[in-house]
Amino acid sequence: MEKTSSNAPSVLVTGANKGIGLAIARQLGERGYSVWLGCRHAGRGEAAAADLREAGLNAHVLALDVTDPAIVQAAADRLGEQIGALDVLVNNAGISIGMPFRASEERIDDIRSMFEVNTFAPLAVTQAFLPLLRRADAARIVMTSSGLGSLSDATDMAGLFWNVGYAGYCASKAALNMLMIKLAKELLADGIKVNAADPGYTATDLNGHTGHRTVEEAARIVVDLATLGPLGATGGFFHDGHASQSRHRW
């Protein structure tokens, strides 16, 4: 892998070979970012990067299995050889499996797997890439979360989520939101903003393409948070619209 030469700000998006992750990468590439697609499958990642390059965007692939600590650290080391600093990290990779309606019927192994990818991995990836983020002038970290991780929405009997099951997935995103808050507090002194984005119910492989939103619509709030200015929020959970105008809920 030859060292890339670019003065453009850089962004790493995990789970970026398809769906919302690829849409995030495309939109940030269109804003002038040098985009790194963090992908478990190198072939799929390269195909996605080739499509972005064909559109005139600066796109690269970084082999990255977010659940393997050794691979995560190796990826951070490789990226550090390519760029001087990482301006944006988008922890987008996520899974949803084995989701019966009743929490009492969910398989613990399924819940554990979702926590590994949806909760533990974003923290592990952030820890590994933090030295590169600290080299940037004003880095941004965005966690792709979910409205299903909102405790206030889950307990609102008149709300949309009162009758939603999926306990393991919801819990993994609620825990991710807490980790985001703790990181935001810790990294405030470093000038690094950390936020969580709720992309909404989007048609992706995660839900069998049953969502009513497009991946392009879902990506916008993530992109807004990734490109926040110095007066932008940190430690927040945001849904639609520009970050400064978004709904902030728990």
pLDDT digits (tens, 9 = 90+) for 72-102: 999 999 999 999 999 999 999 999 997 777 8
- Does 5 reside within a domain? no
Question: Does the pTM of the predicted model rise above 0.75?
Answer: yes
Q: Which residues of the chain have pLDDT under 70?
A: 1-6, 200-212, 241-250
Q: How far apart are CA 4 and CA 34, in angstroms?
A: 10
Tell me, yes or no, whether 91 lies in a domain. Answer: yes
Q: What single DSSP character describes residue 120?
A: I
Cα distances from 218 to residues 10, 42, 88, 145, in angstroms, run 21, 24, 18, 11
Residue (of 78, 96, 65) closest to 167 by Cα position:
96
Tell me how many domains the chain contains.
Answer: 1
Q: Which residues are catalytic?
A: 169, 173
The answer to whether position 178 is within a domain reads yes
199, part of any domain: yes
Evaluate whether 32 touches 9 at the Cβ level (below 8 Å).
Answer: yes
The answer to the question of residue 34 being in a domain is yes
For 105-124, what is each residue's pLDDT tens digit? 999 999 999 999 999 999 99
Q: What is the domain extent for residue 150? A: 10-245
Q: Mapped to the 3 state alphabet, what secondary structure does 4-45 carry?
A: CCCCCCEEEEECCCCHHHHHHHHHHHHCCCEEEEEECCHHHH
Asked if residue 4 is part of any domain, the answer here is no
Judge whether 3 lies within some domain: no
Is the distance from CB of 49 to CB of 26 less than 8 angstroms? Answer: no
Q: Give me the CATH number covering residue 221.
A: 3.40.50.720
**250 within domain boundaries:** no
How far apart CA 247 and CA 236 sit, in angstroms, is 10
